[in-house]
Structure 1
Amino acid sequence: MGLKPTQYRCASESLLRRLRKEGTMPRIHPLIDLCNGISMAFAILVAVLDVARIEGALQVRHAEGSERYLTFGGGIEHPEPGEVSFVDAEGNAHARRWTNRQSGLSAVRDETREVLVVVEAMHAGGADDVARLLDAIAQALREVWSVEARTQLLSATQPAFGFP
């Protein structure tokens, strides 16, 4: 991915390090807590985005440097040119460094009604691990909220997933 592994830790690694150090995880939102737990169990990145905050199509692409990224502290940053980001039609970066850093703009809130869950794995066997992780999330959504998830594994031959 072109990132320094100790400077930009992936979310699942950061969660595991925090759990090991503090012995507990903070409560954020029931869905986020669930996805964080599954992310740690599989040691795979899981991002959860509020669909209502995404304008138009969401692309995974190299940043130009003009995209706007809202930090959780309320500040605006611009991804470095070439940095892989999740960018919508309005130029909002909803995630940076793949999904290593999610934006405060599309963070799940109490009023969130529809989410896009993104799971990433680039290791050998990653596609199989992602499929199992997605099944675990879908099962948990059915059991906890009686919600049916629609999933799709993206690849070079299947590069798009349509959502409202």
Structure 2
Amino acid sequence: MIFRHAEEVRTAHPGLAAGALHATGVDGAADVEARVADHTARALARLADGPESRFPEVLAWRRTFARTGLRPTQYRCASESLLRRLRKEGSLPRIHPVVDLCNAVSVAYAVPIAVIDADRITGPLLEVRPAHGDEEYTTFDGRTEHPAPGEVTYADSAGRAHARRWTNRQSGHSAVRDGTRRILVVAEAMHEGGADTVARVLETLADELGAHWPVTPVTSLLTDAAPEFTLDDTARVR
């Protein structure tokens, strides 16, 4: 299966920096609390100097949302939402060890990170592209929605939408759960220096996943020259 950003998305958003990670062999049993605490402490230290709304990483996504016709204070990218919750409540919700780790790394670097159950994607292609309007998106409470035509979404070969409003909200259909064993993780940034940030995010996540599960993650930076990431059997259990 191939993951990529459609050419029209890259053309419309030349500042996009993205990277992907694939790993097989995760489960819900690992204890990631210490590492989650370390990463969230880093975010809290930064928040002590000012709210997330001033972060360059967040401002860049707000500008991106505005360009796509969304009100950026109504629809926030996932990392801004997490940072906002962390600032107000002092902690992040606990969902699943893999998700908790990705959320903690997301706030530490202030960029949105999607973590998807790869076995819930219908291949051979998962593409970040403008919606046609007939894609099906499943909410976390089981309702079906249809992204508006032109809305940027993660769409698979069966026409299922795995996100709404690009980095705003993931799908309940492909959310990581207790039975998840194979994951696709995507980090996306729009700020100046975003490629370096995404590279550090991928390195951090690969190290964390490898330390907590018997996995050997495969990662790749995605660029205009090399926009595709192939999920294959190289991401095996150790």
Question: Which secondary structure state, in structure 2, belongs to the residue aligned with residue 86 of structure 1?
Answer: strand
Aligned residue among 210, 218, 221 for 1:153: 221
Aligned to 1:85: 153
Q: How far apart, CA to CA, are the structure 2 residues paired with 1:119 and 1:149?
A: 14
Matched, 1:4 2:71: yes
Q: How far apart, CA to CA, are the structure 1 residues paired with 2:229 and 2:103?
A: 23
Displacement, 1:143? 1.2
Aligned residue among 97, 104, 128 for 1:37: 104
* Amino acid corresponding to residue 48 of structure 1 in structure 2: V
Matched, 1:96 2:164: yes
Q: How far apart, CA to CA, are the structure 2 residues paired with 1:33 and 1:142?
A: 15
Write the deviation string for residues 46-81 of structure 1: whole angstroms up to 9, x where unpaired: 000001100011011100100000000111000011
More moved, 113-122 vs 93-102: 93-102
Question: Which secondary structure state, in structure 1, belongs to the residue aligned with residue 186 of structure 2?
Answer: strand
Displacement, 1:149? 0.9
* Amino acid corresponding to residue 14 of structure 1 in structure 2: S
Displacement, 1:25? 1.6
Q: Which one has a bigger Cα radius of gyration?
A: 2
Question: Which secondary structure state, in structure 2, belongs to the residue aligned with residue 6 of structure 1?
Answer: coil
Aligned to 2:121: 54
Displacement, 1:95? 1.2
Aligned residue among 199, 219, 222 for 1:131: 199
Displacement, 1:108? 0.2
Displacement, 1:146? 3.3
| Residue segments in structure 2 that go unaligned for 5+ positions in a row | 1-63, 233-238
Q: How far apart, CA to CA, are the structure 2 residues paired with 1:19 and 1:123?
A: 21
Displacement, 1:99? 2.5
Report the TM-score, using the length of structure 1 for normalisation. Answer: 0.97
Aligned residue among 48, 63, 80 for 1:13: 80
* Amino acid corresponding to residue 106 of structure 1 in structure 2: S
Greater per-residue helix proportion: 2
Aligned to 2:140: 72
Greater per-residue strand proportion: 2
Aligned to 1:105: 173
Displacement, 1:121? 0.2
Q: How far apart, CA to CA, are the structure 1 residues paired with 2:169 and 2:147?
A: 11
In percent, how many aligned pairs have the same letter?
Answer: 61
* Amino acid corresponding to residue 132 of structure 2 in structure 1: E
- Tell me which stretches of 4 or more aligned residues in structure 1 moved more than 4 Å: none
Report the TM-score, using the length of structure 2 for normalisation. Answer: 0.67
Question: Which secondary structure state, in structure 2, belongs to the residue aligned with residue 60 of structure 1?
Answer: strand
How big is the alpha-carbon RMSD for the aligned residues of Structure 1 and Structure 2? 0.9
